[in-house]
Amino acid sequence: MTDRPPVAQDDAVTLRDGSPLVIRPIRPDDKGAIADGFERMSPESRYRRFFAPLQRLTARDLAYLTEVDHRDHEAVIGFDATTGEPVGVARFIRSDQPSEAEVAVTVVDDWQGRGAATALLERLVARARDEGITHFLALVLTENREAIELFDNVASGDSARRSSASGHLELVIELPEPGTPTGE
């Protein structure tokens, strides 16, 4: 295990299953946490997130995933508030249209289905709104029902769906106004 950066307890949330999660903006010193979390993901979870059978993350990958500008590329990371282990990451990368960003959420296998992805995405939506982003684009595998449901629940209305050139499903998600609760 790598040394973990301290997490502020004022960023703690309680998930629907009662688990304590601490969410904060990602930092360059989170490379070890990202690598640890990646190792705790099954091959299927890795494929669902990266659309490729990745075996490991390179130093370049880790730099890209952790060295963000917090404006056009934002990422929030969640840690188990009890153990400090990494739980998941949600990120957006602004597109050429300033009010639109591509979104991705990743949660380690043993925390899936507990509300971690929803908590991370809610924090990310708030950050996106702060930066003037009104729509997320999510590229998901058509069989990834959990991801589709997650993004549908955060949308302020119906999300538009279209097939991408790669055969994946692309969701266009209108973000809720600030202060509007998201669905479960």
What pLDDT score does 178 carry?
66
pTM for the whole thing?
A: 0.85
**pLDDT grade for 180, boundaries at 50, 70 and 90:** low
Residue 27 CB partners (closer than 8 Å, separation 6+): 5, 66
**pLDDT grade for 149, boundaries at 50, 70 and 90:** confident
Q: Say yes or no to pLDDT of 8 above 60.
A: no
DSSP letter string, 99-167: TEEEEEEEE-GGGTTTTHHHHHHHHHHHHHHHTT--EEEEEE-TT-HHHHHHHHHH-SSPPEEEE-TTS
Neighbours of 170 (CB within 10 A): 17
| CA pair distance 116, 78, nearest whole angstrom | 8
pLDDT digits (tens, 9 = 90+) for 23-42: 999 999 999 999 999 889 88
**pLDDT grade for 94, boundaries at 50, 70 and 90:** very high
**pLDDT grade for 3, boundaries at 50, 70 and 90:** very low
Sole residue written with tokens 């880790």: 62
